[in-house]
Structures are given as C-alpha cells and as structure tokens.
Amino acid sequence: MNTPLVPVILCGGFGTRLWPLSREAFPKQFLRLSGQDSMLQQTLQRLTGIDNVAPALLVCNESSRFIVAEQLREIGLEESRMLLEPMRRNTAPAIATAALQAMANGDDPVLLVQPADHVILDAPAFHRAIALARTAAEEGNLLTFGITPTGPETGYGYIRAEGDASELVRRVLDFVEKPALPLAEQYVASGDYLWNSGIFLFRASRYLAELERYQPAVLAACRAAFANAKRDRDFIRLDSDAYAASPDIAVDYAVMECTDLAATVTLDAGWNDIGSWAAVFDVAEKDANNNSAQGDVLMQDCNDCLIHGNSRLVTAIGMRNTVIVETADAVLVMDAAQAQYAKTMVAQLIARERPEATMHREVFRPWGSYDSIGNGERFQVKRITVKPGSKLSLQMHHHRAEHWIVVSGTAEITNGDKTYLLTENQSTYIPLGVVHSLANPGKVPLELIEIQSGSYLGEDDIVRFEDRYGRV
C-alpha cells in the first residue's frame, strides 16, 4: 500500500449539548472527558499504528489556534499543520481546503477525515476498518464508516447500504436524516441501516472532483481562500473574504448524498460521538449503583446518575437518572432523559447575551490563562498564569489601571519607559493610559494576582502595540 494517508481532523465544532463544560471559547474537543487526554489528543493518538500515515492536517477556528497548538505540544505532535478558518462554513469547505493543502506538493493522498470529538474504544478494530476502506478509496470510491445500531437512536443520521452485513464494503443506497422514533425503530429492526459516523475516507482529488460537480461555488471559494492564504509558522490562515463567499454546507449534503461513488465499511470499534451528557455517561466508568462521578463528589442513595464537579464539592441525595454538571460559574441539573435538549438552554443564554453561553471563567490565551475570581462595581480581580518564556502584548488601556502582585515565579515588567523584575510577594502599579507588558523569563509558570480598577473593565479596552502572536 504505497498511497500515503493524510489524517484530516475537524476541530471547529461547538458541542452545545455538553454545556456548561463545553463552550464556544473552549468546546468539547479540547475537554478531558474520558481519561487524562483531551478528545482531540485521543483522536490523534489513535492514528498510531496505521500504515504509511502522514502528519495530520487540523482545520480549526482562528480563535482556537493556540489551544490546538498547546494540546499538540503536550503529546509531541508539533509537526501537524493547522488550517485556520476565519469563520465557520461547515464541513464541506473545511475538507476542501484540507484536500487542497494535501495536494499542494503534487501528491494525491488518501484523506481520513475525522471529527476531533469522537470516542473509539477499540483502536485495532478501527485500523482494520481503515485498511478495508483504504483499498476501496484507492479505486476511486468515497467511503463513509457506518456503525451497527445498538438501538433506535434519533440523534444520528442513518445509512442504507446494499447487500448484507457480511459484505466488507457495501455501496450506499441512501443517506437518511435523523428520524423520529417510530422510523428509527423500523430502521434498526430491518437490519439494512447503519448509523452515519461522520468519518470519511477518499482520495483528495476524487473529493475535489465530486465537489466541483455538485457544489462548484464551494470549491471556487475554497480555491481562492487557499490561494490567498497567509502562512505563519505552522498556521495557514485562509483568506477571510474568499472563504466567506463559500456556501455553508456539510459534506453529507454537498457530496456524499449526491455522488454515485459512495460506499460504506462497517465500523464496530466502540464508537461514540459524545453528542450529549447521556453519551458521556455511556462511556464513563460507573460504581455499583450505576453512577458516574468526576471531581469532588459525594452521593447518598443515588442511582443511574452522572455528576461532574470541577471547582467545588458537589453532593447529591436520593437522585435518580440525573445529570449534574458544575463549573466555576454555572451549574446544570437535568433529567438524563432530556440530555439532547441542553442546547436549548444555551440558546436561551445567547438570547439573553449571557457570557456563560460562550466563555468559561478561566480563559485561555497563547501565553497562558486568566481566571476572573472576583468583580464588582469599578473593580475586577484576576488570577493570571504565564507560561515559561511567554509574553503578553505591549499594550495600554483607556479606562482602567492595574495592580500586579506576584504569587510565584519571576515577572519581567515593562511599565512605561522602565523594565524591571518582580519575584514572589512583590507588586507593581500600572497607571491608566501607560504602555505596559508582562513576561515570564523563568523556567516555571508565573502566577500573579491582577486587580483592575476603573470606569470600564471589558476585554476590548486593549490597544496593542506589539504582539508576538499576531493578534489585532
């Protein structure tokens, strides 16, 4: 098997049904929901052992590029490349830009397209399915991986395949939208249908040819966005104006439901798309009463519950079939049977312009993170962590002054025309309107407390003069 395989990892999802843990600024693919590694990291590590596999291409949002880069660094995969979408345009354009990048050096590899937020428990079985699909893809087919249904699930799309389950590769006859329960029961009873996993495998050139046939406007926009892209280290920044011209369309609608080259390989490898808290519960370890607990949790007389604590003690008494998820700024309590509808709560929060819909209290930046630990009228207190060797932008504020107190590590301060070092228990004052910066010249994380005071404390009151991370 000589054709290289290029993994394409789609990292742009939101995961609203896993609120309050998953939010737009830190969605579920970056969370550590099952094990010590994030779902993105597990997706990449799962590729180990596949024959002739190239470094991955990751398609992600501009806003999450440094989170992705940090998670790649943690598992030693810095050689992966990142395509940055200036805005979401769904999976068909995302895959098209990855295909263009994969072919940029004259190659025509097979692309293994995966969302970054699925669980696959049996990696060897996954590898065997890829090997079967790879042969069919090299012959010009567009492969999707179908999951043998374990019940009448209404949250998945379905695939109707030709022949019976004993055949290794089957022609796809129909793609079916998420059905109502009676229809889902018929599908499962017939044995003719598989769940649509959203994992695909095809030659890059074949996908682009089919996309041009059925959605030429998508390919034209992606070609222009890729041709005018800017390269910055491992980042490939797609041109914003050109990419915005692409129709917003999923690969299923754009190509897979239209082409006569669609085929499927059955994937029985412990797959789960972790699309809801009920799905998290399905793959979680459980105690003798079928409860799953993570964090500082105490339960008494509880059965069939999922309790996820993040920042404080969570206790539950006499609960049945309940989901409780606690974060530093929000708590979700929900009947497990209603798990698919958590996204409706997010919609309410967005309509009310609540920041909890999109942001956690702890916010990650390329240099580290900050946690807003207290606020009131005309003041805000943050805990700031700066990674070794990192530096915040040279900036100033029109509406606030800042006090910095070093808790641990060493801080290099630029304060107007002065530059000096601070260590543990030392502090400094940054007056309103003064140009300043903060860096960590040491080898351990820098921790400090920042006290802001002023008439306006929003994050948009930042004027940047220099920034090593290319932020506006």
pLDDT bucket at 25, cuts 50 / 70 / 90:
confident
Residue 190 confidence (pLDDT): 86
Tell me the mean pLDDT in the region 261-272. Answer: 92
pLDDT at 297 > cutoff 60: yes
Whole-number Å distance between alpha carbons of 35 and 47: 17
pLDDT at residue 178, rounded to an integer: 85
pLDDT tens across 151-197, in order? 888 888 899 988 877 778 889 998 888 888 888 888 888 888 899 99
Q: Rounded to whole angstroms, how far apart are CA atoms 306 and 45? A: 27
Give the pLDDT band (50/70/90) at residue 335.
very high
What would the mean pLDDT of 406-432 be, rounded to a whole number?
96
Whether the CB-CB separation of 329 and 318 falls below 8 Å is answered with no
CA distances from 328 to 33, 311, 344, 359, 378 (A): 17, 6, 21, 11, 22
Residue 417: C-alpha distances to residues 3, 60, 383, 414, 440 (Å): 58, 39, 26, 7, 19
Residue with the larger pLDDT of the pair 472 and 423: 423
pLDDT per residue over 70-129, tens digit each?
899 899 887 788 999 999 999 999 999 999 999 998 899 999 999 999 999 999 999 999
Q: Each residue of 31-64: pLDDT tens digit?
A: 988 778 999 999 999 999 999 999 999 999 888 8
pTM of structure:
0.86
Q: 433-468: per-residue pLDDT in tens?
A: 999 999 999 999 999 999 999 999 988 899 999 988
Mean pLDDT, the chain, as a whole number?
92
The amino acid present at 331, given as its one-letter code, is V
Distance of CA 238 to the CA centre of its chain: 19
**What is the arithmetic mean of pLDDT over 230-239?**
85
- Tell me the domains of the chain and their CATH numbers: 5-272 (3.90.550.10), 288-348 (no CATH), 362-466 (2.60.120.10)
Contact 62, 12 (CB under 8 A): no
Q: What is the rounded CA–CA span in Å between residue 234 and residue 371?
A: 28
How many whole angstroms separate alpha carbon 308 and alpha carbon 286?
13
